[in-house]
Structure 1
């Protein structure tokens, strides 16, 4: 039985249920219950709970409005984007939605690429002024996300010139989810928006020539230099932390970790310390998992225990 991220399932041999928050392989998935503990489970030991809505966003949007003949003044040609919305039940999951605020019908495909392996994930026709879900991914595993290929064609029977085909190749980074959230069109939820139909950049030839005579700024000057000790306790990062869920707190902490780790590499730090605390160990485990796969990290270890106890990790970079 094939399961998807975000599905609500029940254990067959014990009184336990939860949401699928990670696909480990074809035979094993990770399930997170109300206690926020993630447990690897064989798919053969799970049953899908039908009729359980994993996310309030999962309402039936349909395919949008039926296309009708519109005049050029009435016809909207702007507003094609991808929205990223955290699951209401498990904030570690992020749902990808294609948003169509135009009067065009859209033909859209989504393909993922891992090395040379291509996998078609989604294909559909989307009507004017509508939204549809395309994909779901685990935000803490952002470093493991594949490259995404999105292709969009516009169509209308009205006397309107179609837009140029949209061909997006994108690999997401932590900074893509560090900006403030915005209200997503058609649904009353906050999320991040990636605009697909941005206008083409017009090159100013004169300014381009002038730039050849200007000394370019180094990458170090573009990125703020971080402290050598980064405190990831949520009260140090957000004033409104008491209103955040556990999953939102974790995502904020991980975004800060990735941001400061990248800044330390840019400024050629020999090492840096991340203070994550002890707690239930989830933040520490996510940090260690990311560090273990990072090409610029030589090693990492517990920082000075006499100073930090067991709640900090020292990262040593390759020279």
Structure 2
């Protein structure tokens, strides 16, 4: 049985259900139940109930036409949802832009990667790409995220996004922000924020302007 992080499973020999939050050695998986505890169990001792990753191919209501709305070219985020006391953290790619996003997310391990999510995220939509347990936040992986922005209308050329991302335990001290499309509050990380290029000329100007008067 091909199990992955985020799947909802039921124990064969006990009345327990939960989501897979880790893949361990020797065919063992970690399952987090409603109490927030991660329980190690052999893969052969669970059955798949259903995956809970929301995918773009899921049946969606027909969206309202946006032909006459302004084109939004910024607003790609990672959102981490969940309550620390409840155990399960859910990771989302949130697309507030007018682009369709072709997204690939992998987990970094030294110089190699393992893909955990790859799909199309429609305009003004989102997709869950990972789950983890808050109890192991210090061991959460580093993600390698690649995103291509696509539009059928004439737009300035966009460079693909190529980011490494990791949630640090201290990040969870910060306040959550409400995301209406999720109907939830999340820790929010902006992926397409323009990074200021501090060149030599800017550094030189900075030091000259801050030079003490003699």
Q: TM-score normalized by structure 1?
A: 0.55
Q: CA deviation at 1:17?
A: 1.0
1:76 corresponding residue in structure 2: 72
Q: CA deviation at 1:162?
A: 3.2
Which of the residues 81, 101, 108 maps onto 1:106? 101
Which of the residues 146, 149, 152 maps onto 1:151? 146
2:7 corresponding residue in structure 1: 7
User: 2:61 and 2:161 mapped to 1: Cα distance?
Assistant: 20
User: 1:46 and 1:4 mapped to 2: Cα distance?
Assistant: 13
SS at match of 1:161: coil
SS at match of 1:49: strand
SS at match of 1:140: helix
Give the gaps of 5 or more residues in structure 2. none
Query: Is the alpha carbon distance of 1:112 and 1:188 closer, same or farther for their aligned partners in structure 2, counting shifts above 3 Å?
Result: same
1:42 corresponding residue in structure 2: 42
Q: TM-score normalized by structure 2?
A: 0.78
SS at match of 2:31: strand
2:206 corresponding residue in structure 1: 208
Q: CA deviation at 1:12?
A: 2.0
**How many residues end up aligned between the 2 structures?**
207
Q: CA deviation at 1:94?
A: 1.6
Point out the structure with the larger strand share: 2
Point out the structure with the larger helix share: 1
User: 1:205 and 1:199 mapped to 2: Cα distance?
Assistant: 19
Question: What CA RMSD, in Å, does the superposition of the two structures yield over aligned residues?
Answer: 3.4
2:35–2:87 Cα contact (<8 Å) kept: no
1:28 corresponding residue in structure 2: 28
**Higher Cα Rg, which structure:** 1
Query: Is the alpha carbon distance of 1:34 and 1:160 closer, same or farther for their aligned partners in structure 2, counting shifts above 3 Å?
Result: closer
SS at match of 1:44: helix
User: 2:31 and 2:169 mapped to 1: Cα distance?
Assistant: 24
Q: Could you list the per-position Cα deviations for residues 285-309 of structure 1 after superposition, in whole angstroms to 9, with x for gaps in the alignment?
A: xxxxxxxxxxxxxxxxxxxxxxxxx
Which of the residues 58, 81, 84 maps onto 1:85? 81
| Match status 1:175 vs 2:174 | no
User: 2:120 and 2:65 mapped to 1: Cα distance?
Assistant: 12
Query: Is the alpha carbon distance of 1:120 and 1:147 closer, same or farther for their aligned partners in structure 2, counting shifts above 3 Å?
Result: same
Q: CA deviation at 1:152?
A: 1.3
| Match status 1:196 vs 2:191 | yes
2:106–2:116 Cα contact (<8 Å) kept: yes
